[in-house]
Structure 1
Amino acid sequence: MTPESELRESIIAAGRSLFDRGLTHGSTGNISVRWNGNILVTPTGSNLGSLDPSRLSVIDPHGNHVQGGKPSKEAFLHAAVLRARPQAHAVVHTHSTHAAALSCLDGLNPADSLPPLTAYFAMRVGRLPLLPYHAPGDPALECLAETVAQENTALLLANHGPIVAGSNLQQALDAVEELEETAKLFFILNAHPTRPLTSQQVSAIRPSS
């Protein structure tokens, strides 16, 4: 199997894992990985549980379609985040239930929408800025996402869901799952006083941006 084939198969496995565990549903969510100067990304209208490796899209670093299936209408977001984070090689976007629910709440801190309830959230996600609502596929979000991603590995799209970058695909998957689990904790604990990590505790374990 060629390196490209292995990478395509890793995207298929990641999509199936996300779908089988209920982190995506229907044709929601998308995955991208850098490859050979371009970006492999899941095609439009895809169910992540049944991706075809031969139909994955290839876009250039500016989001232009190069070959393969028609890319997701949110592919430009993946390109924007990867431009902003040259050290990252993969991006995962989901509409996972608790993170999406969080994105719908009023009164969130737009600079950091989810408190660091656990050490693993602080290590794998860090801050979670909330970007204002844009319709799915709205190119007006591109510049904002690229700017905010320069200092953050994860973004929360208002009334939509999270988008997370990682140094590799597994790291991005781990981070998006940690985000979802922390959002779940947030709702479970909502009626109770919480004790998030202090800023000093977070600084001691948070990865550099």
Structure 2
Amino acid sequence: MANEALVLYTNPMSRGRIARWMLEEVGQPYRVELTGYDGAMRAPEFLALNPMGKVPVLVHEGVVVTETAAICAYLAETFPQAGLLPAPTPAARAAYYRWMFFAAGPLEAAVSAKALDLLAPPERAGTVGYGSFERTVDTLEHAAASAAPWLTGERFTAVDVYAGAQVIWGQLFKSLPPRPAFVEYAARLQARPAWQRATALDDAAMPTPAD
């Protein structure tokens, strides 16, 4: 039986896939509560967990964690034995925080704005955190090209889960250009057994046409 101490509220068509991947990397047993877009996320009991009415939500021994980047960081710190924290050097820690917050901030905002045709006009680029989509993509490309082989160096960490998932999705859904640095980094990520397990579990939970 899965450990009731870790419960993930998720949907296979959401950023909850990142949280599931992170849990698989951590290696602790957990239970999944599949939460539909049929009103379940607006139910009072769910809103009591996350007033934003969205997944993923992680509940750990009664403590609620929302926001995917926060879930990844929380799990890495709560289960240090999984080895998903950066090396204890200034350079590794700086890269870890830099790219975690870059992915949660400018990258997420730029990709979403472009998908919705809501990018800031060039003359207003200075008013948004991402500046421009092109500059954000160039910055991400620099990070991926510099990964040796991971964003903090030799050690795979939670930032590779969170930022890396966005690179993978960017290639799958063509929201990021297929630059060699992205393709190669995504291939390294997709070769990880935890990513493969998490993907298989979420794919199996996808609704069928009959649903």
**TM-score past 0.5 threshold:** no
TM-score by length of 2: 0.24
TM-score between both structures, scaled by the size of structure 1 = 0.25
In terms of Rg, which structure is larger? 2
The structure with the largest helix share of the pair is 2
